[in-house]
Amino acid sequence: MWLALSPVGTSWSPGDQSWERMSTYLNLRGPRSMPTLPTQARKRLGAGLRRLRTDADLTVDNVVGELGWGRTKLIRIESAKVRLSAADLRKLGKLYGADANDLARLHELMDAAGSTPWFAAYTDLLTAALMEYIELEAMAAQIHMANTGVLPGLLQSRSYATAVYESQPHIPDPDQAARLVEVRMKRQRVITEDGVPLRAIIGQALLHVATGGRDVLKEQLGLLAEMSELANVELRVVPFSAERAILTSGISVFDFDAEPGGDQEPSVAFTEHEGSMLLRDAELDVRRFRRLLDHLATQSLDPDESRHMITKRMEEL
């Protein structure tokens, strides 16, 4: 059985209508501004300050001697271990000769580092791995995913998501289950409000598995058809006739935009198994997962054919 996947790279060519549609959308949209996520903002702030310091040919000892700080203070700022005050940022910016654009971006990062993300309200409920997954998902410039047995959370209806949690072997407390569904619904805003491109493939079997019952499935198929019409969503179906489409675990790949004037943020991958989630950020791992997604994409129907299949199945219910 299949789930959602997002094709990347070699499976897309300028001759494909789907490629042209997504390319047009990305050109109009432009680079995505990073959302206000404290952990990553603090890391980017520290890295940016370290880059400015080295560009100014200053050592840690030079800086702390000039400002009268202890060495550990600057080291902890650059390694994202402590928060930075506006006054200290001004001092560092002046010493490093930062221009107006650099200072504006550093101030944005400083503000973001002190903010509270929406999912912080669920820290008592979410595992550390899932928290990291949600944070990276919220930062992504493009999302690519694959899984088995269930539709992707970013495309689930509320009723379907509720049924999924009720069907799991470790059924949570009803109140916890309701909050988990709420988290899943809020995560979808990266697609519906932020417009992050999602390239996804679902297996045909998932159009027939009545998770939650007939009415829930019909509603879910209607949502899939609706979401597939969004300019930033590429939804494909792997048909029963596909001869070489095998996936044994869930995969998500997140790509990121480069910071203005900064380095490219490396892509990351997550693998999911029952009850566990693992971050895979080694370049070789990410490249291999991306190759797998490319291969699976060649086994799928194109977006128009996929939408037709989904609509036809919905009409049968």
Question: Is 30's pLDDT higher than 60?
Answer: no
pLDDT digits (tens, 9 = 90+) for 176-225: 889 999 999 999 999 999 899 999 988 899 999 999 999 999 999 999 99
Number of other CB atoms surrounding residue 20 within 10 Å: 13
Question: Is 256's pLDDT higher than 90?
Answer: no
Collect all residues with Cβ–Cβ distance below 8 Å to 122 and sequence separation of at least 6.
Answer: 179, 183
What pLDDT was estimated at residue 84? 87
Of the candidates 136, 120, 152, the one whose C-alpha atom is nearest the C-alpha of residue 279 is 136
Question: Side chain identity at 227, as an amino acid letter?
Answer: M
Collect all residues with Cβ–Cβ distance below 8 Å to 133 and sequence separation of at least 6.
Answer: 252, 270, 277, 279
What percent of the chain has pLDDT above 90? 45
Are the C-beta atoms of 258 and 158 separated by less than 8 Å? Answer: no
Q: How far is CA 74 from CA 41, 99, 198, 280, in A?
A: 17, 20, 39, 31
Q: What sections of 31-188 are H helices per DSSP?
A: 38-55, 60-67, 71-78, 86-96, 100-113, 128-139, 158-167, 174-187
What pLDDT was estimated at residue 6? 38
